Structure 1
């Protein structure tokens, strides 16, 4: 099991920059923060958007609470990101989480997926483990995108 070395854990801003470099290398395109239209007269700034808007990522760097509890209040910002993802079209929508482990060895990403998999639809979830260099980073796709569940339900309406 991978566990983060705390000395390799990055602060949120640095984590977002690191993921941007990783995505640029993986997909051979540039990524930057960009506002996209998510509703009538409403935009949302996504953390990382490819030059052609086909890949969009939100980066989260949360840890368990001091009491080893699930950080529900912080996770609510991921739920908000899921809502915004549902309002856009893109080939790839990714939530990238710098994983954290509690004293029992539970992965924050795994517990998040157990609780919220049913609302993720076409969103991928990646667990990101920071290495000493970008080449040493480990990324695990913990959830592949699925179909949007309600499209089937309303297809014949």
Structure 2
């Protein structure tokens, strides 16, 4: 239980105008935290997974249109580049920080259960 709250899976919120429901991956019981999660890795050749970067941008877009009074979080699985010594989440923030606005990015280590704040 991260954030000291209980979360529900696949909760729909109306976003946009006209409003249309979007199912967010996790939403706290009190509705105060909305999370999109992605279990992405670098490509097998250690290249940037450009299509996955586009999907991360899409997740950020949906989060930005969630209710204004919520904490918005994008959580990416920890995956470290073998040569750059940079995680995919850190790369995403370094490259796309200008799009994040009020969205936090965190990375989750499935082996340790630790959640690390990137921004």
TM-score bracket for this pair, using the shorter chain length: 0.7 to 0.9
Match of 2:117 among 141, 145, 154: 141
Aligned length in residues: 116
Structure of larger gyration radius: 1
How far did residue 83 of structure 1 move? 1.0
Does structure 1 retain, via aligned residues, the 8 Å contact 2:79–2:88?
Answer: yes
Quote the Cα distance in structure 2 between the aligned partners of 1:127 and 1:65.
Answer: 18
Shift of 1:32: 2.1
CA RMSD in angstroms, aligned pairs only: 1.5
Structure 1 gaps, min length 5? 1-21, 144-157
Structure with greater strand percent = 2
Q: Give the TM-score, by structure 1 length.
A: 0.68
SS of equivalent to 2:36 = strand
Q: Which residue of 1 aligns with 2:11?
A: 34
Structure with the higher helix share, 1 or 2: 1
Distance 1:66 1:36, change over 3 A: same
After TM superposition, the runs of 4+ consecutive aligned structure 1 residues lying more than 4 A away are: none
Q: Aligned partners of 2:60, 2:7: CA distance in 1, in Å? A: 23
CA shift, 1:85, in A, is 1.3
TM-score, normalised with respect to structure 2: 0.88
Residue 94 of structure 1 pairs with residue 73 of structure 2 = yes
2:64 touches 2:72 (CA, 8 Å); kept in 1? no
SS of the residue aligned with 1:109?
helix
1:64 paired with 2:38, answer no
CA distances 1:53-81 after superposition (whole Å, capped 9, x unpaired)? 21000111101111111111012111111
Residue 80 of structure 1 is matched in structure 2 by 58
Structure 2 unmatched runs, 5+: none
